[in-house]
Structure 1
Protein backbone atom coordinates (compact mmCIF):
# COMPACT_ATOMS: atom_id res chain seq x y z
CA UNK A 1 0.00 0.00 0.00
CA UNK A 2 1.28 3.47 -0.90
CA UNK A 3 1.05 5.80 2.10
CA UNK A 4 0.84 8.93 -0.06
CA UNK A 5 -0.99 8.94 -3.40
CA UNK A 6 -0.40 11.66 -6.01
CA UNK A 7 -2.77 12.45 -8.87
CA UNK A 8 -2.68 15.15 -11.54
CA UNK A 9 -5.93 16.82 -12.52
CA UNK A 10 -4.85 19.22 -15.22
CA UNK A 11 -2.55 21.75 -13.58
CA UNK A 12 -3.56 20.75 -10.05
CA UNK A 13 -1.55 18.16 -8.12
CA UNK A 14 -3.72 16.30 -5.60
CA UNK A 15 -1.72 14.65 -2.82
CA UNK A 16 -3.72 12.24 -0.69
CA UNK A 17 -2.62 10.83 2.67
CA UNK A 18 -3.53 7.16 2.40
CA UNK A 19 -3.44 5.40 5.76
CA UNK A 20 -7.11 5.29 6.67
CA UNK A 21 -6.39 2.40 9.06
CA UNK A 22 -4.70 4.89 11.40
CA UNK A 23 -6.60 8.06 10.40
CA UNK A 24 -3.74 9.02 8.05
CA UNK A 25 -1.31 9.48 10.93
CA UNK A 26 2.24 9.58 9.63
CA UNK A 27 5.48 7.93 10.64
CA UNK A 28 8.96 8.85 9.42
CA UNK A 29 8.62 6.94 6.14
CA UNK A 30 5.23 8.47 5.34
CA UNK A 31 6.57 11.95 6.09
CA UNK A 32 9.39 11.24 3.61
CA UNK A 33 6.81 10.28 0.97
CA UNK A 34 4.90 13.52 1.54
CA UNK A 35 8.09 15.55 1.14
CA UNK A 36 8.85 13.86 -2.18
CA UNK A 37 5.25 14.24 -3.38
CA UNK A 38 5.36 17.99 -2.79
CA UNK A 39 8.71 18.28 -4.55
CA UNK A 40 7.50 16.18 -7.47
CA UNK A 41 4.55 18.55 -7.91
CA UNK A 42 6.82 21.52 -8.64
CA UNK A 43 5.72 21.62 -12.29
CA UNK A 44 2.02 21.89 -11.40
CA UNK A 45 0.17 25.16 -10.85
CA UNK A 46 -1.52 24.41 -7.51
CA UNK A 47 -1.01 21.69 -4.88
CA UNK A 48 -3.90 20.21 -2.88
CA UNK A 49 -3.35 18.03 0.20
CA UNK A 50 -6.20 15.89 1.50
CA UNK A 51 -6.87 12.65 3.34
CA UNK A 52 -8.41 9.26 2.66
CA UNK A 53 -11.74 8.15 4.11
CA UNK A 54 -13.02 9.92 7.25
CA UNK A 55 -9.85 11.70 8.41
CA UNK A 56 -7.61 14.41 7.04
CA UNK A 57 -4.64 13.56 9.28
CA UNK A 58 -4.28 12.52 12.91
CA UNK A 59 -0.68 13.75 13.15
CA UNK A 60 2.27 11.62 14.17
CA UNK A 61 1.64 7.90 14.71
CA UNK A 62 1.32 7.61 18.50
CA UNK A 63 2.24 3.93 18.70
CA UNK A 64 5.78 5.19 18.09
CA UNK A 65 5.67 6.99 21.45
CA UNK A 66 4.71 4.01 23.64
CA UNK A 67 8.11 2.33 23.29
CA UNK A 68 10.05 4.97 21.40
CA UNK A 69 13.15 4.35 19.32
CA UNK A 70 15.00 7.67 19.88
CA UNK A 71 16.59 7.79 16.43
CA UNK A 72 13.34 6.91 14.64
CA UNK A 73 11.30 9.37 16.67
CA UNK A 74 13.85 12.13 16.21
CA UNK A 75 13.61 11.50 12.46
CA UNK A 76 9.80 11.73 12.54
CA UNK A 77 9.89 14.98 14.53
CA UNK A 78 12.34 16.65 12.16
CA UNK A 79 10.61 15.25 9.07
CA UNK A 80 7.44 16.93 10.33
CA UNK A 81 9.25 20.25 10.13
CA UNK A 82 10.71 19.34 6.74
CA UNK A 83 7.35 18.65 5.10
CA UNK A 84 5.86 21.85 6.47
CA UNK A 85 8.97 23.64 5.17
CA UNK A 86 8.31 22.05 1.77
CA UNK A 87 4.79 23.48 1.82
CA UNK A 88 5.95 26.96 2.75
CA UNK A 89 8.96 26.96 0.43
CA UNK A 90 7.09 25.63 -2.59
CA UNK A 91 6.53 28.42 -5.16
CA UNK A 92 2.99 27.07 -5.63
CA UNK A 93 -0.12 27.82 -3.58
CA UNK A 94 -0.92 24.83 -1.35
CA UNK A 95 -4.54 24.18 -0.36
CA UNK A 96 -5.59 21.89 2.49
CA UNK A 97 -8.80 20.08 1.49
CA UNK A 98 -9.85 19.09 5.00
CA UNK A 99 -12.15 16.11 4.53
CA UNK A 100 -12.36 15.01 8.17
CA UNK A 101 -10.53 15.11 11.48
CA UNK A 102 -7.38 17.25 11.56
CA UNK A 103 -5.77 16.51 14.91
CA UNK A 104 -2.35 17.11 16.41
CA UNK A 105 0.24 17.30 13.67
CA UNK A 106 -2.62 17.00 11.19
CA UNK A 107 -4.00 20.30 12.42
CA UNK A 108 -0.52 21.79 12.15
CA UNK A 109 -0.48 20.58 8.54
CA UNK A 110 -3.62 22.67 7.96
CA UNK A 111 -1.94 25.64 9.64
CA UNK A 112 1.08 25.28 7.34
CA UNK A 113 -0.95 25.25 4.11
CA UNK A 114 -1.53 28.58 2.37
CA UNK A 115 -5.31 28.09 2.16
CA UNK A 116 -7.75 25.66 3.73
CA UNK A 117 -11.20 24.56 2.57
CA UNK A 118 -13.07 22.33 5.00
CA UNK A 119 -15.88 19.83 4.77
CA UNK A 120 -18.70 20.51 7.21
CA UNK A 121 -17.72 17.16 8.76
CA UNK A 122 -14.17 18.30 9.52
CA UNK A 123 -12.92 18.84 13.06
CA UNK A 124 -9.80 20.58 14.28
CA UNK A 125 -7.62 20.57 17.36
CA UNK A 126 -4.33 19.76 19.03
CA UNK A 127 -3.60 16.71 21.14
CA UNK A 128 -0.08 17.30 22.47
CA UNK A 129 -0.30 17.82 26.26
CA UNK A 130 -3.10 15.24 26.40
CA UNK A 131 -0.95 12.48 24.87
CA UNK A 132 2.55 13.31 26.09
CA UNK A 133 3.75 15.83 23.49
CA UNK A 134 3.42 19.51 22.54
CA UNK A 135 2.35 21.19 19.26
CA UNK A 136 5.55 23.15 18.58
CA UNK A 137 5.30 23.05 14.76
CA UNK A 138 2.45 25.49 14.34
CA UNK A 139 0.04 25.01 17.23
CA UNK A 140 2.01 27.03 19.77
CA UNK A 141 3.28 29.70 17.41
CA UNK A 142 1.97 30.21 13.86
CA UNK A 143 -1.64 29.39 14.80
CA UNK A 144 -1.59 32.46 17.05
CA UNK A 145 -1.02 34.63 13.97
CA UNK A 146 -4.07 33.04 12.33
CA UNK A 147 -6.63 32.96 15.14
CA UNK A 148 -5.12 35.10 17.93
CA UNK A 149 -2.84 34.28 20.85
CA UNK A 150 -5.47 33.54 23.50
CA UNK A 151 -7.41 31.23 21.20
CA UNK A 152 -4.23 29.48 20.05
CA UNK A 153 -3.26 28.86 23.67
CA UNK A 154 -6.73 27.49 24.33
CA UNK A 155 -6.30 25.12 21.38
CA UNK A 156 -2.79 23.96 22.31
CA UNK A 157 -3.24 23.79 26.10
CA UNK A 158 -6.73 22.30 26.45
CA UNK A 159 -6.76 19.87 23.50
CA UNK A 160 -10.42 20.40 22.70
CA UNK A 161 -12.11 19.65 19.37
CA UNK A 162 -13.57 22.43 17.21
CA UNK A 163 -16.06 22.07 14.40
CA UNK A 164 -15.58 23.49 10.92
CA UNK A 165 -17.96 26.40 11.47
CA UNK A 166 -15.92 27.57 14.48
CA UNK A 167 -12.69 27.15 12.50
CA UNK A 168 -14.08 29.38 9.74
CA UNK A 169 -15.33 32.00 12.22
CA UNK A 170 -11.89 32.16 13.87
CA UNK A 171 -9.95 32.38 10.60
CA UNK A 172 -8.47 28.89 10.87
CA UNK A 173 -9.89 27.95 7.43
CA UNK A 174 -11.06 29.99 4.44
CA UNK A 175 -14.37 28.28 3.67
CA UNK A 176 -16.63 25.46 4.87
CA UNK A 177 -18.73 23.53 2.34
CA UNK A 178 -21.02 20.48 2.45
CA UNK A 179 -18.93 17.34 2.57
CA UNK A 180 -19.98 16.09 -0.85
CA UNK A 181 -19.01 19.42 -2.42
CA UNK A 182 -15.49 19.63 -0.98
CA UNK A 183 -13.52 18.58 -4.06
CA UNK A 184 -15.62 20.79 -6.34
CA UNK A 185 -15.08 23.77 -4.04
CA UNK A 186 -11.33 23.16 -3.87
CA UNK A 187 -11.23 22.89 -7.66
CA UNK A 188 -12.94 26.29 -7.94
CA UNK A 189 -10.35 27.85 -5.64
CA UNK A 190 -7.57 26.20 -7.64
CA UNK A 191 -9.05 27.46 -10.92
CA UNK A 192 -9.16 31.01 -9.53
CA UNK A 193 -5.49 30.70 -8.55
CA UNK A 194 -4.55 29.32 -11.96
CA UNK A 195 -6.08 32.39 -13.62
CA UNK A 196 -3.41 34.56 -11.97
CA UNK A 197 0.27 35.12 -12.73
CA UNK A 198 2.37 32.25 -11.31
CA UNK A 199 5.35 34.59 -10.97
CA UNK A 200 3.47 37.10 -8.87
CA UNK A 201 1.65 34.43 -6.91
CA UNK A 202 5.08 33.15 -5.87
CA UNK A 203 6.16 36.65 -4.87
CA UNK A 204 2.96 37.09 -2.88
CA UNK A 205 3.49 33.72 -1.19
CA UNK A 206 7.12 34.41 -0.27
CA UNK A 207 6.12 37.78 1.17
CA UNK A 208 3.18 36.28 3.09
CA UNK A 209 5.53 33.83 4.83
CA UNK A 210 6.41 36.61 7.30
CA UNK A 211 4.84 34.91 10.32
CA UNK A 212 6.08 31.46 9.30
CA UNK A 213 9.63 32.75 9.05
CA UNK A 214 9.29 34.53 12.39
CA UNK A 215 8.05 31.30 14.01
CA UNK A 216 10.61 28.91 12.58
CA UNK A 217 13.41 29.44 15.13
CA UNK A 218 10.83 28.87 17.85
CA UNK A 219 9.82 25.63 16.10
CA UNK A 220 13.42 24.40 16.11
CA UNK A 221 13.75 25.20 19.81
CA UNK A 222 10.53 23.32 20.50
CA UNK A 223 11.75 20.32 18.49
CA UNK A 224 14.94 20.30 20.52
CA UNK A 225 12.91 20.10 23.73
CA UNK A 226 10.71 17.33 22.31
CA UNK A 227 13.79 15.33 21.33
CA UNK A 228 15.22 15.69 24.85
CA UNK A 229 11.92 14.40 26.26
CA UNK A 230 11.86 11.22 24.12
CA UNK A 231 11.18 8.26 26.39
CA UNK A 232 10.07 10.43 29.31
CA UNK A 233 7.49 9.01 31.70
CA UNK A 234 4.95 11.58 30.51
CA UNK A 235 5.47 10.67 26.84
CA UNK A 236 5.11 6.94 27.42
CA UNK A 237 2.10 7.31 29.72
CA UNK A 238 0.31 9.78 27.44
CA UNK A 239 0.76 7.65 24.33
CA UNK A 240 -0.11 4.43 26.17
CA UNK A 241 -3.28 5.93 27.61
CA UNK A 242 -4.33 7.17 24.18
CA UNK A 243 -3.76 3.82 22.48
CA UNK A 244 -5.51 1.99 25.34
CA UNK A 245 -8.42 4.49 25.37
CA UNK A 246 -8.07 5.35 29.05
CA UNK A 247 -7.41 8.44 31.14
CA UNK A 248 -3.67 9.07 31.60
CA UNK A 249 -2.16 8.92 35.08
CA UNK A 250 0.56 11.55 34.90
CA UNK A 251 3.68 10.95 37.04
CA UNK A 252 3.63 13.14 40.13
CA UNK A 253 -0.08 13.97 39.84
CA UNK A 254 -2.61 12.14 41.97
CA UNK A 255 -5.43 10.38 40.10
CA UNK A 256 -8.62 12.45 39.95
CA UNK A 257 -10.85 11.73 42.94
CA UNK A 258 -8.06 10.44 45.19
CA UNK A 259 -7.60 11.84 48.68
CA UNK A 260 -4.63 11.94 51.02
Structure 2
Protein backbone atom coordinates (compact mmCIF):
# COMPACT_ATOMS: atom_id res chain seq x y z
CA UNK A 1 0.00 0.00 0.00
CA UNK A 2 1.33 3.40 -0.98
CA UNK A 3 1.41 5.91 1.86
CA UNK A 4 0.74 8.69 -0.66
CA UNK A 5 -1.39 8.24 -3.78
CA UNK A 6 -0.58 10.60 -6.65
CA UNK A 7 -3.17 11.21 -9.36
CA UNK A 8 -3.07 13.85 -12.09
CA UNK A 9 -6.49 15.11 -13.10
CA UNK A 10 -8.28 18.33 -14.03
CA UNK A 11 -4.95 20.14 -14.49
CA UNK A 12 -3.82 19.39 -10.93
CA UNK A 13 -1.66 16.81 -9.22
CA UNK A 14 -3.70 15.34 -6.36
CA UNK A 15 -1.64 13.88 -3.53
CA UNK A 16 -3.76 11.81 -1.17
CA UNK A 17 -2.33 10.85 2.24
CA UNK A 18 -3.18 7.18 2.53
CA UNK A 19 -2.79 6.02 6.11
CA UNK A 20 -6.36 6.22 7.43
CA UNK A 21 -5.46 3.66 10.10
CA UNK A 22 -3.49 6.41 11.89
CA UNK A 23 -5.50 9.40 10.64
CA UNK A 24 -2.89 10.01 7.93
CA UNK A 25 -0.16 10.88 10.43
CA UNK A 26 3.20 10.75 8.71
CA UNK A 27 6.47 9.13 9.71
CA UNK A 28 9.83 10.05 8.10
CA UNK A 29 9.34 7.64 5.18
CA UNK A 30 5.85 8.93 4.39
CA UNK A 31 7.09 12.51 4.70
CA UNK A 32 9.87 11.76 2.20
CA UNK A 33 7.38 10.18 -0.20
CA UNK A 34 5.19 13.29 -0.08
CA UNK A 35 8.19 15.58 -0.66
CA UNK A 36 9.25 13.51 -3.66
CA UNK A 37 5.75 13.71 -5.18
CA UNK A 38 5.63 17.49 -4.68
CA UNK A 39 9.02 17.96 -6.31
CA UNK A 40 8.01 15.75 -9.23
CA UNK A 41 4.84 17.80 -9.65
CA UNK A 42 6.82 21.05 -9.74
CA UNK A 43 8.57 19.76 -12.85
CA UNK A 44 5.30 18.96 -14.62
CA UNK A 45 2.85 21.20 -16.48
CA UNK A 46 0.05 21.00 -13.88
CA UNK A 47 -1.52 24.25 -12.74
CA UNK A 48 -1.75 23.32 -9.06
CA UNK A 49 -0.88 20.69 -6.47
CA UNK A 50 -3.65 19.46 -4.17
CA UNK A 51 -3.03 17.72 -0.85
CA UNK A 52 -5.88 15.81 0.76
CA UNK A 53 -6.45 12.84 3.05
CA UNK A 54 -8.15 9.47 2.95
CA UNK A 55 -10.85 8.22 5.28
CA UNK A 56 -12.30 10.72 7.74
CA UNK A 57 -9.08 12.65 8.39
CA UNK A 58 -6.92 15.16 6.58
CA UNK A 59 -3.74 14.70 8.60
CA UNK A 60 -2.88 14.15 12.28
CA UNK A 61 0.67 15.45 11.83
CA UNK A 62 3.72 13.45 12.83
CA UNK A 63 3.12 9.86 13.94
CA UNK A 64 3.20 9.70 17.76
CA UNK A 65 3.31 5.96 18.24
CA UNK A 66 6.92 5.85 19.48
CA UNK A 67 7.19 9.10 21.41
CA UNK A 68 6.73 7.33 24.74
CA UNK A 69 10.02 5.51 23.98
CA UNK A 70 11.58 7.97 21.54
CA UNK A 71 14.36 7.29 19.06
CA UNK A 72 16.28 10.61 18.89
CA UNK A 73 17.60 9.97 15.38
CA UNK A 74 14.18 9.10 13.99
CA UNK A 75 12.49 12.04 15.72
CA UNK A 76 15.11 14.48 14.49
CA UNK A 77 14.50 13.13 10.99
CA UNK A 78 10.74 13.66 11.36
CA UNK A 79 11.09 17.17 12.82
CA UNK A 80 13.43 18.44 10.12
CA UNK A 81 11.63 16.40 7.46
CA UNK A 82 8.49 18.36 8.30
CA UNK A 83 10.35 21.61 7.66
CA UNK A 84 11.64 20.23 4.35
CA UNK A 85 8.08 19.23 3.42
CA UNK A 86 6.64 22.64 4.19
CA UNK A 87 9.45 24.38 2.32
CA UNK A 88 8.84 22.13 -0.71
CA UNK A 89 5.25 23.39 -0.64
CA UNK A 90 6.29 27.01 -0.32
CA UNK A 91 8.95 26.76 -3.03
CA UNK A 92 6.81 24.95 -5.59
CA UNK A 93 6.09 27.25 -8.55
CA UNK A 94 2.43 26.20 -8.57
CA UNK A 95 -0.12 27.05 -5.88
CA UNK A 96 -0.53 24.21 -3.38
CA UNK A 97 -4.11 23.71 -2.17
CA UNK A 98 -5.09 21.95 1.06
CA UNK A 99 -8.33 20.06 0.40
CA UNK A 100 -9.29 19.44 4.00
CA UNK A 101 -11.57 16.40 4.02
CA UNK A 102 -11.67 15.83 7.79
CA UNK A 103 -9.78 16.35 11.02
CA UNK A 104 -6.49 18.26 10.85
CA UNK A 105 -4.51 18.14 14.08
CA UNK A 106 -1.04 19.17 15.20
CA UNK A 107 1.37 19.05 12.28
CA UNK A 108 -1.64 18.36 10.07
CA UNK A 109 -2.93 21.81 10.88
CA UNK A 110 0.52 23.25 10.22
CA UNK A 111 0.34 21.53 6.84
CA UNK A 112 -2.76 23.65 6.12
CA UNK A 113 -0.85 26.76 7.22
CA UNK A 114 2.00 25.89 4.85
CA UNK A 115 -0.31 25.50 1.84
CA UNK A 116 -1.11 28.55 -0.28
CA UNK A 117 -4.88 28.02 -0.30
CA UNK A 118 -7.23 25.87 1.76
CA UNK A 119 -10.78 24.59 1.23
CA UNK A 120 -12.42 22.47 3.94
CA UNK A 121 -15.59 20.45 4.27
CA UNK A 122 -18.23 21.52 6.78
CA UNK A 123 -17.66 18.49 9.00
CA UNK A 124 -13.91 19.07 9.33
CA UNK A 125 -12.15 20.55 12.32
CA UNK A 126 -8.63 21.73 13.03
CA UNK A 127 -6.29 22.82 15.76
CA UNK A 128 -2.96 22.24 17.46
CA UNK A 129 -2.19 19.49 19.96
CA UNK A 130 1.46 20.10 20.85
CA UNK A 131 1.60 21.42 24.40
CA UNK A 132 -1.19 19.03 25.41
CA UNK A 133 0.82 15.97 24.37
CA UNK A 134 4.41 17.01 25.04
CA UNK A 135 5.46 19.04 21.99
CA UNK A 136 5.01 22.52 20.50
CA UNK A 137 3.81 23.72 17.06
CA UNK A 138 6.97 25.57 16.01
CA UNK A 139 6.48 25.11 12.24
CA UNK A 140 3.48 27.35 11.73
CA UNK A 141 1.21 27.15 14.73
CA UNK A 142 3.18 29.50 16.97
CA UNK A 143 4.27 31.89 14.26
CA UNK A 144 2.95 31.82 10.68
CA UNK A 145 -0.66 31.16 11.72
CA UNK A 146 -0.63 34.57 13.41
CA UNK A 147 -0.29 36.17 9.96
CA UNK A 148 -3.72 34.73 9.09
CA UNK A 149 -5.69 34.97 12.31
CA UNK A 150 -3.76 37.44 14.48
CA UNK A 151 -1.23 36.98 17.26
CA UNK A 152 -3.61 36.67 20.20
CA UNK A 153 -5.82 34.13 18.47
CA UNK A 154 -2.81 32.12 17.24
CA UNK A 155 -1.50 31.98 20.80
CA UNK A 156 -4.89 30.72 21.90
CA UNK A 157 -4.69 27.99 19.25
CA UNK A 158 -1.17 26.89 20.18
CA UNK A 159 -1.42 27.31 23.97
CA UNK A 160 -4.87 25.82 24.64
CA UNK A 161 -5.12 23.12 21.96
CA UNK A 162 -8.81 23.69 21.33
CA UNK A 163 -10.66 22.31 18.31
CA UNK A 164 -12.15 24.73 15.78
CA UNK A 165 -14.87 23.93 13.29
CA UNK A 166 -14.26 24.65 9.63
CA UNK A 167 -16.76 27.52 9.81
CA UNK A 168 -14.97 29.08 12.78
CA UNK A 169 -11.60 28.68 11.10
CA UNK A 170 -12.85 30.27 7.88
CA UNK A 171 -14.28 33.25 9.75
CA UNK A 172 -10.88 33.74 11.40
CA UNK A 173 -9.05 33.71 8.04
CA UNK A 174 -7.52 30.26 8.53
CA UNK A 175 -9.26 28.88 5.41
CA UNK A 176 -10.37 30.33 2.08
CA UNK A 177 -13.76 28.61 2.04
CA UNK A 178 -15.95 25.88 3.51
CA UNK A 179 -18.04 23.59 1.33
CA UNK A 180 -20.53 20.78 1.74
CA UNK A 181 -18.89 17.43 2.44
CA UNK A 182 -19.88 16.02 -0.94
CA UNK A 183 -18.62 19.08 -2.84
CA UNK A 184 -14.95 19.20 -1.87
CA UNK A 185 -13.41 17.79 -5.03
CA UNK A 186 -15.84 19.66 -7.28
CA UNK A 187 -15.00 22.98 -5.61
CA UNK A 188 -11.27 22.30 -5.69
CA UNK A 189 -11.49 21.41 -9.38
CA UNK A 190 -13.31 24.71 -9.99
CA UNK A 191 -10.57 26.61 -8.16
CA UNK A 192 -7.90 24.86 -10.22
CA UNK A 193 -9.80 25.72 -13.41
CA UNK A 194 -9.87 29.36 -12.36
CA UNK A 195 -6.13 29.29 -11.64
CA UNK A 196 -5.45 27.66 -15.02
CA UNK A 197 -6.69 30.80 -16.75
CA UNK A 198 -3.88 32.80 -15.19
CA UNK A 199 -0.35 33.29 -16.51
CA UNK A 200 1.79 30.48 -15.03
CA UNK A 201 4.85 32.74 -15.08
CA UNK A 202 3.26 35.56 -13.17
CA UNK A 203 1.35 33.21 -10.89
CA UNK A 204 4.72 31.82 -9.81
CA UNK A 205 6.08 35.34 -9.28
CA UNK A 206 3.04 36.23 -7.19
CA UNK A 207 3.43 33.07 -5.12
CA UNK A 208 7.14 33.43 -4.44
CA UNK A 209 6.67 37.11 -3.60
CA UNK A 210 3.89 36.19 -1.17
CA UNK A 211 6.34 34.05 0.81
CA UNK A 212 7.86 37.15 2.44
CA UNK A 213 6.49 36.36 5.92
CA UNK A 214 7.19 32.64 5.66
CA UNK A 215 10.80 33.35 4.69
CA UNK A 216 11.21 35.97 7.41
CA UNK A 217 10.15 33.47 10.07
CA UNK A 218 12.46 30.66 8.90
CA UNK A 219 15.11 31.24 11.57
CA UNK A 220 12.36 30.87 14.14
CA UNK A 221 11.41 27.48 12.68
CA UNK A 222 14.99 26.24 12.89
CA UNK A 223 15.54 27.45 16.46
CA UNK A 224 12.18 25.95 17.48
CA UNK A 225 13.14 22.60 15.98
CA UNK A 226 16.45 22.78 17.81
CA UNK A 227 14.59 23.17 21.09
CA UNK A 228 12.30 20.24 20.25
CA UNK A 229 15.33 18.07 19.50
CA UNK A 230 16.90 18.99 22.85
CA UNK A 231 13.66 18.01 24.60
CA UNK A 232 13.53 14.50 23.06
CA UNK A 233 13.08 12.00 25.85
CA UNK A 234 12.07 14.61 28.42
CA UNK A 235 9.59 13.72 31.14
CA UNK A 236 7.02 15.99 29.48
CA UNK A 237 7.38 14.28 26.09
CA UNK A 238 7.13 10.78 27.52
CA UNK A 239 4.15 11.62 29.73
CA UNK A 240 2.34 13.53 26.99
CA UNK A 241 2.78 10.77 24.42
CA UNK A 242 1.89 8.03 26.91
CA UNK A 243 -1.27 9.84 27.97
CA UNK A 244 -2.26 10.40 24.35
CA UNK A 245 -1.83 6.74 23.42
CA UNK A 246 -3.61 5.62 26.62
CA UNK A 247 -6.44 8.11 26.05
CA UNK A 248 -6.09 9.75 29.46
CA UNK A 249 -5.30 13.28 30.68
CA UNK A 250 -1.57 13.98 30.91
CA UNK A 251 -0.05 14.74 34.30
CA UNK A 252 2.95 16.92 33.50
CA UNK A 253 5.51 17.79 36.18
CA UNK A 254 5.06 21.32 37.45
CA UNK A 255 7.68 23.93 36.70
CA UNK A 256 10.58 23.52 39.11
CA UNK A 257 9.88 19.85 39.85
CA UNK A 258 13.05 18.04 38.87
CA UNK A 259 15.05 18.54 35.68
CA UNK A 260 12.42 17.31 33.20
CA UNK A 261 14.88 14.72 31.87
State the TM-score, normalized to the length of structure 2: 0.96
Q: CA deviation at 1:198?
A: 0.3
The answer for the alignment partner of 1:145 in structure 2 is 147
Does 2:244 match 1:209? no
Check the 8 A contact 2:10/2:192 in 1, yes or no: no
- The separation in 2 between residues aligned to 1:97 and 1:10, in whole angstroms, is 15
2: distance between equivalents of 1:26 and 1:211? 26
Which residue number corresponds to residue 39 of structure 1? 39
CA contact (8 A) 1:18 1:52 kept: yes
Aligned to 1:9: 9
The match for 2:258 is none
Alpha carbons 2:144, 2:217 under 8 Å: kept: yes
The corresponding residue for 2:259 is none
Query: Does the CA contact (< 8 Å) of 2:49 and 2:94 recur in 1?
Result: yes
Tell me how far 1:151 sits from its aligned partner. Answer: 0.3
Runs of 4+ displaced beyond 6 Å: none
Preserved contact between residue 11 and residue 193 of structure 2 (Cα < 8 Å)? no
Residue 67 of structure 2 corresponds to: 65
Q: Where do 5+ consecutive residues of structure 2 fail to align? A: 256-261
| Structure 1 equivalent of residue 119 of structure 2 | 117
* Equivalences, count: 253
Q: What residue ranges of structure 1 are gaps of 5+ in the alignment?
A: 254-260
1:240 corresponds in structure 2 to 242
Contact 2:10 2:189 in 1 (8 A): no
SS of aligned partner of 1:63: coil
2:105 maps to which of 103, 109, 117: 103
Matching of residues 188-203 of structure 1 within 5 Å: 188-203=190-205
Task: Describe the SS at the equivalent of 1:91.
Answer: coil
Tell me the CA shift for residue 64 of structure 1.
2.4
Matches within 5 A, 1:157-236: 157-236=159-238
**Partner-residue secondary structure (3-state), 1:65:** coil
For the 8 Å contact 2:134–2:237, the answer to whether it is kept is yes
